[in-house]
A = this chain, B = another copy of it.
Amino acid sequence: MIRAGIVGATGYAGAELCRLLYAHPEVEIAAVSSVSFEGQALSDVYPAYRGFLDLICGNQEEVVEKSDVIFAALPHGLSQELAAQCIEKNKVFIDLGADFRLENEEDYKEWYGGTYLDKSLHAQAVYAMPELFREQIKGKKLIANPGCYTTGAPLALAPAVKGGLVEPQGIIVDSKSGATGAGRGLSQTTHFTELDGAFHPYKVACHRHTPEIEQTLSHLAGKPVRITFVPHLLPVDRGIISTCYARIMPGVTKEQIRQAYEDFYKDETFIRLLPDGKVADIKAVKYTNLCDISLHVDTRTGTLVAVSALDNMVKGAAGQAIQNMNIVFGLPEETGLKLVPPAF
């Protein structure tokens, strides 16, 4: 059994990790930590977990000590030191935060206002989106797990961008996320009475996930890609739809695009490329590590509309982290993640 530890277990991503790891057949949860709730049972913070996850929240040191793999679900800026400790002790470190995601430190400075404490540490990190960069993840110990928006948009666009089927410039990513994306912290925006029945964009064209999406798309395109990214807040708990718009290159047909997607994703367990005429829906992937993609071509304007749906807490956070753990530990990728989404 792999001994897993979760640092930041009482935030939403941490709590979701605990829930999924509890059911993982090759994992035992060795320890969890929480700064806010140290000394309390996880099931006191989340009563839903009573009888299952009654373990007491300890501190980071205990988690590192007792675990083979450490998942960190911390606010950005807090993972770097912890990662160094873990690597030194030869543990696997999977970071759900943003500290190791951006290759270019300048981007990190600009969008997060932080610096890289140890560049050699960053050199060991891998940006771990399995469907796009699987081979690079194997054998790594420092795993930068992608964010939620930054998973959905690239997966929707990857085959088209990599195949040169769309113009790499002028791409629009219009995303809509459920409220768990904003975390457990209280705010007026996510107060029930203000979010229920509401819907609005936020951080328009200035959200921190922009450079991360661009980094991935640039790798796929083989040249710099700039996007316009606009997230919106949905009055639902989970799920992200990313509606992505790209101009189709002259001469490229609808059929070629579809074929490219089918080829690209044909062996992927967690990608469901929907048949023509169907649309991706967050409800159809809820509580699972799936990413549904629907393809639409606007022949009137020569625009590809690629839509992805995923559960931001699973494929957009905890589930993908476990998928990465499975890769690192040589387990079948779907271990513990073969979940049928509830239909209602």
A residues with CB within 8 A of B: 12, 15-16, 19, 22-23, 46-53, 169-170, 172, 174, 176, 178-180, 184, 186-188, 190-202, 204-205, 226-228, 230, 232, 234-239, 241, 243, 245, 247, 272, 274, 278-287, 294, 296-298, 300-301, 303, 305, 307, 309, 313, 338-344
Q: A16-B343, A50-B274, A205-B305 are in contact. List 18 more A-B contacts (CB 8 A).
A: A48-B284, A174-B243, A184-B188, A184-B191, A184-B193, A186-B191, A190-B192, A191-B192, A192-B237, A193-B344, A197-B237, A199-B282, A200-B309, A227-B301, A228-B303, A230-B243, A232-B243, A287-B287
Contact A194 B344 (CB under 8 A): yes
Query: In the complex, how many angstroms separate the beta carbon of A47 from the nearest chain B beta carbon?
Result: 5
Query: In the complex, how many angstroms separate the beta carbon of A172 from the nearest chain B beta carbon?
Result: 5
Q: CA A287 – CA B52 in complex, angstroms? A: 15
Query: In the complex, how many angstroms separate the beta carbon of A217 from the nearest chain B beta carbon?
Result: 13
Which 6 pairs from chain A and chain B are nearest by CB? A205-B298, A200-B281, A198-B283, A46-B343, A204-B296, A186-B186
8 A-B residue pairs with Cβ-Cβ distance under 8 Å, sorted by A, are A19-B340, A176-B176, A179-B192, A197-B236, A200-B279, A204-B298, A205-B301, A228-B300
